[in-house]
Structure 1
Amino acid sequence: MAIQRFGTPKQGALPFAKAVAAGGFLYVSGQVPRDEKGEIVCGNMLTQAKVTLDNLKKVVESAGYGMQDIVKVEAWIDDPRDFVDFNKVYAQYFSAEHAPARVTVQAEMMSDLRVEVACVAYKAQ
């Protein structure tokens, strides 16, 4: 199967795709709380986590996968005190039945970001 790229950059943008599918796997680049215009959605962790995970879901679904196909999640949060609020939102997107492996680490974020989330999904071909 050929490699497919989704959400490839526009002329002059940073050179990375929102997602790349290869061999049944979908690798989704880090998603952040940006609105449709590309502006950062400011707010607390509850707000930013919801927008971020909505963005992740859109990318996954645009590539023909579903949230149940996600096998690994990587999350970066700016303030470890936001871990509980991040998990409150995260639990709304992943069921116990389809829970992916996950790593969550503290990382200093750029701008006013509180969270970034990337994932790997898989569907048998």
Structure 2
Amino acid sequence: MTSAPRADGNTANFSPAVLAGGLIFVSGQASVDEAGSIVSGTFSEEMDRSIDNVRRILGEHGLDLGDVVKVGAYVQDPADLVEFNKRYRDFFAPPLPARTTITSCLPDTIKFEIDVVAAVRT
């Protein structure tokens, strides 16, 4: 169990992270604070908070963003893809994780969400 915040205090519908077969699967993380409330901001601010939530979860398992092997990114407004691609390398270094990016798929209340898969260190 992880102490990561969950949107709207959602505690019953998903696990923030699951360990299976040497991998940590981190559920979608949005710009949510410790109380589970959505924190709106610029695209960049929401991306930072979302990735900070991922960092927190990975850190609880002794991992960091360098252990991520797969990223699922969800960008509400396709116009934010330029900013997303620019900022992505602030967080992930070569060899870059495999990545899928989907746009126009989030509710209007959030601009960005991310899920990751990380390899457990041996």
Output the TM-score relative to the length of structure 1.
0.83
How many residue pairs match? The answer is 119
| Residue among 91, 114, 117 paired with 1:117 | 114
- Residue pair 1:6, 1:20 contacting (<8 A) in 2 also: no
Give the distance between the partners of 2:108 and 2:77, measured in 1 at CA: 14
Query: In structure 2, what residue type is equivalent to 1:20?
Result: V
Give the distance between the partners of 2:21 and 2:35, measured in 1 at CA: 32
Shift of 1:117: 0.2
Say yes or no: does 1:60 pair with 2:58. yes
Sequence identity, in percent? Answer: 34
Paired residue secondary structure (1:104): strand
Output the TM-score relative to the length of structure 2.
0.85
Shift of 1:14: 2.7
Mind listing any 5+ residue stretches in structure 2 that lack a counterpart? none
Greater Rg over alpha carbons, structure: 1
Say yes or no: does 1:106 pair with 2:103. yes
Mind listing any 5+ residue stretches in structure 1 that lack a counterpart? none
Most deviating of 80-89 and 18-27: 80-89
Query: In structure 2, what residue type is equivalent to 1:74?
Result: G
Give the distance between the partners of 1:41 and 1:48, measured in 2 at CA: 7
Say yes or no: does 1:29 pair with 2:27. yes
Give the distance between the partners of 1:48 and 1:120, measured in 2 at CA: 20
Shift of 1:89: 2.5
What is the CA deviation profile of residues 81-102 of structure 1, one whole-angstrom value per residue up to 9, with x for unaligned ones? 0011122332111112x41011
In terms of fraction of residues, the more helix-rich structure is: 2
RMSD over aligned Cα atoms: 2.2
Query: In structure 2, what residue type is equivalent to 1:118?
Result: D
Spell out the pairing of 1:73-88 with structure 2 (5 A cutoff).
73-88=71-86
Say yes or no: does 1:39 pair with 2:40. no
